[in-house]
Amino acid sequence: MAQGDRYPFLMSGVLEAWDWFDNGLQNLVKAGGFRPLNKSQSMMVLYISAGVRRPIEIARKMRLSRQAIRHIANQLMKMEIVVGSDDPTDGRSMILSFTAKSNDIRTFAQHAILDLEDVLRARLGANNYRNLRSVLELEWGPTVKVADDLPLTSRIGTDLRTRQPKAAAKAKKRKKRSN
C-alpha cells in the first residue's frame, strides 16, 4: 500500500489513533475491574487531567453544547469520578475536579496509557514513535476559523472568500424578514 492510501486525509489517521488508544484503554479498564467510560466521558476526563476544568471551556474544546457537557459531567459525578464546586471567579460557573474515590481508576488508567504507549512504540519502532511524539508536541498554531486564515492559494480559500459576503447578505435578509 502506497503512503496515503490507507488514510486519504491526515485527520482520518488522527481519529483512528484516538480510537486505538481509547478502545485499548477502555478494554484494559474493564479488565481491571473498573467501569469503562464512553468516548465523551473519556475525553472529558482527559481534558480535566490536562487542567481544563471549567465546563464551558470543555464544551468549546469538545464542540458540544453546555447541556451536553452538563449531562456528561453529571454522569461522571454519579460514577464518583468528578465533583463540581463553585467557580470562585464566576458565581454562575463551576469547576470540575477529581474525587478521592477516583484515585484508583485514574492511577490504573495512567498505567494502562503508558503500557499502550509501550505497545505502540514496539509496533511502530522507536524512531517512528519518537517522530510521532515530536510532531504531536509541536505548536500547531491557532485553529483556522475564517477563510482569511488560509493561504491565498488554498483550495477553498477563494471560494470561501466569495461565499462569505453572500452568506452574510442572506443572513441579514433573513434577520430583516423575521423582525
* Bigger pLDDT: 5 vs 105: 105
Whole-number pLDDT of residue 1:
46
- 115, pLDDT greater than 60: yes
Strands (E), 50-89: 82-87
pLDDT tens by residue, 125-166 = 999 999 999 999 999 999 888 878 888 777 887 777 677 666
Q: What percent of the chain has pLDDT over 70?
A: 89
Q: What's the chain's average pLDDT? A: 89
**Which position has the grid cell 494502562?**
112
Q: Is 65 helix (H, G, I), strand (E, B) or coil?
A: coil
Whole-number pLDDT of residue 154:
79
Contacting residues for 113 by C-beta, under 8 A, at least 6 apart:
21, 25
Contacting residues for 47 by C-beta, under 8 A, at least 6 apart:
57, 58, 61, 62
Estimate the crossing angle of helix 55-62 against helix 66-78, to 10 degrees.
Answer: 120
pTM reported for the whole predicted model:
0.79
Please give the Cα distance from 82 to 42 (Å, whole number): 12
Q: Does domain 10-137 have CATH number 1.10.10.10?
A: yes
Instruction: Compute CA distances 29 → 18, 37, 88, 118, 179, whole Å.
Output: 16, 9, 34, 17, 54
Q: Is residue 26 within 8 Å of 70, Cβ to Cβ?
A: no
Whole-number pLDDT of residue 130:
97
86: β partners = 94
Contacting residues for 104 by C-beta, under 8 A, at least 6 apart:
34
Distance from CA of residue 4 to its chain's centroid? 24
> Which residue type, as a one-letter code, is found at position 96?
L
**What cell was used for 57?**
471551556
CATH 1.10.10.10 domain position(s) in the chain: 10-137
Strands (E), the chain: 82-87, 90-98
